[in-house]
Amino acid sequence: MSRVDVRKTHKLFIGGAFPRSESGRTYEVTDSKDQFLANMALASRKDARDAVLAARSAVAKWSTATAYNRGQVLYRIAEVMEGRREQFISEVSDSEGVSSRKAGAHVDAAIDRWVWYAGWADKYAQVIGNTNPVAGPFFNFSVPEPTGVVAAVAPQDASILGLVSVVAPIIVTGNAVIVMPSSSRPIPAITLAECLATSDVPAGVVNILTGAPAEVMPWLAEHADVNALDGAAPHADWQATPSLSRMRAFVEVKTVWHPMGV
């Protein structure tokens, strides 16, 4: 006797939990052959407001964690993703209509990207910051600090690698993020949310809203408690080796003066 398919209705990821959209709305996601894959929650402005509250409550603790600790947390995400590698490959292959081999390359690159940013967690401040020359009995330091709460849109054509490439540099520098993944290929993003929930990422540091960016992002852009926006370049080469530029975009440089001998 054949089994009945278990149809999924994926939820949002807000504050470390998986709530349904407060609106009760969903939308269908299909594969590259227009075959049904799952129902997704369609996020509303109220969901976005809840995500901002969760991100704001998380950013103070996360931004004051040691850089070494943040690096450990990002590395742990890579470990959890590695354990679910085959699931990611299957979902990316179905979502993007690519071969398992190509999907595997995307998934491996996404896992490696977490490791890459984890390695920079306790090093980027020395590169972006500086000890400035001063004509006087003072020390002058430029120190990068996190911007705060960032609202981001992940690329629509790179379901997992593009998403990780957007999220990792935002959170490694101590920010919290509300991100909208690809609206047509969101399933790998929810699987990533499950990895985040079972790793060491504090609740609220990453919040994932599925649905239509055109409905939610304008409202987030006007929200007084959102400090920065990231509209990922739609045709960027996400396979390319990353640079410090994305980390630099989400920090603010503070200058500190200190007298010598004190």
CATH code, domain carrying 116: 3.40.605.10
- Retrieve residue 138's tokens: 């003072």
- In a domain? residue 175: yes
Bridge partners (DSSP) of residue 206 are 177
- In a domain? residue 1: no
- In a domain? residue 124: yes
pLDDT one-digit tens code per residue, 214-244: 999 999 999 999 999 998 766 788 889 898 9
Q: How many domains does the chain have?
A: 1
pLDDT one-digit tens code per residue, 165-224: 999 999 999 999 999 999 999 999 999 999 999 999 999 999 999 999 999 999 999 999
Domain range enclosing 140: 9-259
- In a domain? residue 4: no
- In a domain? residue 2: no
Element housing 104 (H / E): helix 100-120
- In a domain? residue 203: yes
Closest CA to 174 of 262, 62, 10: 62
- Do strands 251-259 and 138-146 pair parallel, antiparallel, or not at all (unpaired)? antiparallel
- In a domain? residue 98: yes
Q: At 37, is the secondary structure helix, strand, or coil?
A: strand
For the chain, the average pLDDT equals 92
pLDDT one-digit tens code per residue, 64-102: 999 999 999 999 999 999 999 999 999 999 999 999 999
Helices (H) and strands (E) counted in the chain, each on its own, are 9, 10
pLDDT one-digit tens code per residue, 15-35: 999 999 999 999 999 988 899
Contacts with 197 (C-beta within 8 Å, 6 or more apart), sequence order: 13, 16, 18
The angle, 0 to 180 degrees and rounded to 10, between the axes of the packed helices 85-96 and 67-83 is 70
